Structure 1
Amino acid sequence: MDAITIRGLRKDYGGRAAVDGLDLDIHTGEVFALLGPNGAGKTTTVEIAEGFRSRDAGEVQVLGTDPHRAGRSWRNRIGIVTQTSAGLDLLTPREALESTAKVYTDPRDVDEVIAAVGLEDKADTRIVGLSGGQRRRLDVGLGIVGGPELVFLDEPTTGFDPQARRDFWDLIRSLAQQGTTILLTTHYLDEAEALADRVGVIAAGRLLALDTPDNLGGRGTQEATVAWEEDGIRHQVRTATPTAEVAALAARMPGGEVPGLTVTRPSLEDTYLGLIAPHLEGDATKEMS
């Protein structure tokens, strides 16, 4: 059974379809990244899957249950990390996690969670005194303290410095290795590429592409650019057979070494922007929600 199954999902606002007949399957145990521009329908889709928003049409099954009709036992099985949390400033991370853990039937050990999100040194500091990155770590801790089978991560590393982002990636990988299914929305394309088993791109409430990061939009089979230096000049050629091109270059270069050799294919960002370009309005070229 897939962790999430969506068929014909539709949600309208003021006569406009925010989600327009979406079909989507998210496999049990995978990390799935959902990408799309502002207004694409990502947030609406995720909130419906979380059980926090109703739908106008379609079928949704999350861990084998319709989230719109799900009860407390189902909520015990999911974890949610929203973009922001509030109302906890006078507590410490340990207190917040301990109180949240009491809601769940079989929560994780609080000290284990504190260590997992890297807050050992701040566990007993008032939350009001935490940095933005430390608060974000606490948000993740609150989302996983219940020991969920499925975690929803909404822009989880916004505000993280580069090292904090890499540390968080390690946390996500460890959760995935434990069999946790993860649905991730992010505006960092390198994050999706580093973490996701598969990527889905939606725009105007419809699924445009679905594949591994390496193969999204035919990326894995697109022409590569082979570049090198020769006689003080930078050369480049686009080719569908880069290995053969490099072999030919090496055969005619002294010692078989090709100076300044690079072989590149379109990046995930290039592919993503190409997919959503027809759906963008004005100058909204790279902004995502």
Structure 2
Amino acid sequence: MSDYFKISDIAKLMRITPDAIRFYEKNNIIKPERCNDNRYRKFTVDDIRRLYDCKLLQNLQFSISDIASMIQNTKINELDDMIEQREQEIKKTIELQQMALNKIKRIKRATEMILKYKNKFLIQERPHLLIYSYANNNKLDVESVNHPYYEAVMNYHNLFDCTVEIPLENAMDFELENKSKFGFSIDIETASKIEIPNKPPVKELLPCKCAYTVIEATTIINYSSLKTVYRWLEKHNFKLNGDILCRVMKTGFHEGKSYRFYEIWCPIE
């Protein structure tokens, strides 16, 4: 019985194409011998094992160049360390994908909330939030944008909601658009799962009793957008006792025009 295998045998055994085998050979994963008479490749059991190991490592998302280097130069304990590191990276990827999936679920839930609460009101507790500012009084907050947290926010931007804070003292101001604070908000439970700074200048908003509603606006939130909110508060004898928080729930376009749906949280007493 021959101790060698032909390339067609290896291709059939490994369920890969001959071209793929030549690719692995070119990248020094395997080094088959050559017949002296016809230069045909002769593969050994060791080549089969290397191909199997290569496919295993590829499934662990190692690159071909990494695998070639590992096969040629890596010691057993070093390989164990590399696999351990890859395990942690894959776990992190899965965690981020799960967070992205949660974001999709939140968007779908936002659609339900819009249909249910648009221009309607209820009293409920505002969630525990962190606010990462980027602009104040219509001017870029350079200190905040240069802070390490801003880069982290951009890395995880799909987990954040664009947010407008309207200071209590400016709530009834027709020019409030120029006196508002702009940032990104995230619930504290999600923030705790990612590596992101949560110390000052990051602002923490504790849960509090609020009047809650959903409104639609074609521009950045302004006094006109909030007229119905102010009228409802006045009609039901509620008094604002904190900054109004406006979080973008959903954005889109219709016939060339952009629109936004905001959830409005008005602290009341």
Task: Indicate the TM-score class for this superposition, using the shorter chain for normalisation.
Answer: under 0.3
Name which structure has the greater RCO, CA cutoff 8 Å, separation 6+. 1
TM-score normalized by the length of structure 2: 0.21
Asked which structure has the greater CA Rg, the reply is 2
